[in-house]
Amino acid sequence: MVVRLLLNDVVPGAADPGDRLGPDDLERLYAYPDVTARPWVRANMVATLDGAAAGNDGRTGSINTAADLVVYTLLRDLADVILVGAGTARSEGYRRTPPRSARFLDRAAAEGRPSCPVTAVVSGAAQVPPLLAADAPDHGDVLLVTCAGAGPEALDRARRLLGSDRVIVVGAQSVDLPAAVDALHARGLPRILCEGGPRLLRDVAAADALDELCLTVVPLLAAGVQQRVTAGAGVDRALVPRLVIEQDGTLLHRWMRP
């Protein structure tokens, strides 16, 4: 797979426009910033040329490309925790995460990070998708991020299912996402990868908790009625492009806070 760099304002000097990129180059270009003082929230989404966030079967997998899969895997390898909405986790069939790719395992162990990224599922109703609730030896832990408005019965059920220490209650009637980010940071999970869906990404942006959007644009027109990468009430958040990579028409971007 030939991957070409088109723009690099992330790591000046690491690679120049027109350069072909290998795995080490991609790792440098997608590395998280220093998270010693504060967490970093990165979102990763895919869209067609006409803005659809999924194929006409309703799943993102039908519009993924080889280049998108490479970066998707890399972003998971670099993350401490994957933040995902309960609805997206159900519709996309999320399961507990497998171990990181081999090249990242020893490094994670040396840094005291888990061998598998943690999954933090967001549900205002305190509902844990069944596939994430299922045991999976040697796979990642699962946290539930919810709010008091879910009610005591739902919260008790979630605590019985996952364990009381794996249920994070932030907010009264809705999930307080900045507080959720702080809670994940306090657990030693500062590298946060939000995989959506569109409503959760909208809410993260609206809460001013989004530091970065990794957006893959695939060379496909989908039409149909699929929603965009964000959905819900209007949001006005400016981001600037820092990285653009191309492979066989697929464009991979890093957009960051100004």
Residue 60 confidence (pLDDT): 84
pLDDT in the model for residue 210: 98
Residue pair 166/144 in contact by the 8 Å Cβ criterion: yes
Length of the chain: 258
Identify the pLDDT of residue 196.
87
**pLDDT on residue 1:** 60
Is the residue at 232 inside a domain? Answer: yes
Confidence of residue 203 (pLDDT cuts 50, 70, 90): very high
Domains: count for the chain: 1
Residue 255 is assigned to a structural domain of this protein: no
Q: State how far the Cα of 129 lies from the Cα of 124, in Å rounded to an integer.
A: 13
For residues 176 and 240, give the distance between their C-alpha atoms in angstroms, rounded to a whole number. Answer: 26
Q: What digits encode the pLDDT tens for the residues 143-202?
A: 999 999 999 999 999 999 999 999 999 999 999 999 999 999 999 999 999 998 899 999
User: Looking at the predicted structure, is the pLDDT value of residue 13 above 90?
Assistant: no
- What is the helix, strand, coil percentage profile of the chain, to 5? 30, 25, 45
Predicted confidence at residue 14, as pLDDT, reads 86
Residue 253: inside a domain = no
| pLDDT tens sequence across 67-83 | 999 999 999 999 999 99
- The string of pLDDT tens digits covering residues 34-44 is 999 999 999 99
Distance, CA of 255 to CA of 258 (rounded, Å): 9
The pLDDT of residue 195 is 97
CATH number of the domain encompassing residue 66: 3.40.430.10
54 occurs within a structural domain: yes
Average pLDDT of the chain to the nearest whole number:
95
Tell me the pLDDT tens digit for each residue of 80-115.
999 999 999 999 999 999 999 999 999 999 999 999
The answer, as to whether pTM is greater than 0.85, is yes
Pairing of strands 40-48, 167-169: unpaired
Percent of the chain with pLDDT over 90: 88
CB 52 within 8 A of CB 228: yes
Mean pLDDT to the nearest integer, 209-218: 97
254: exposed, middle or buried (C-beta count within 10 Å: 0-12, 13-18, 19+)? buried
Residue 106 maps to a domain: yes
Q: Is residue 184 part of a domain?
A: yes
Is residue 252 included in any domain, yes or no? no
Instruction: Write out the residue range of the structural domain in which residue 75 sits.
Output: 34-240
171: number of CA atoms within 13 Å, CB side? Answer: 21
> Does 155 fall in a domain?
yes
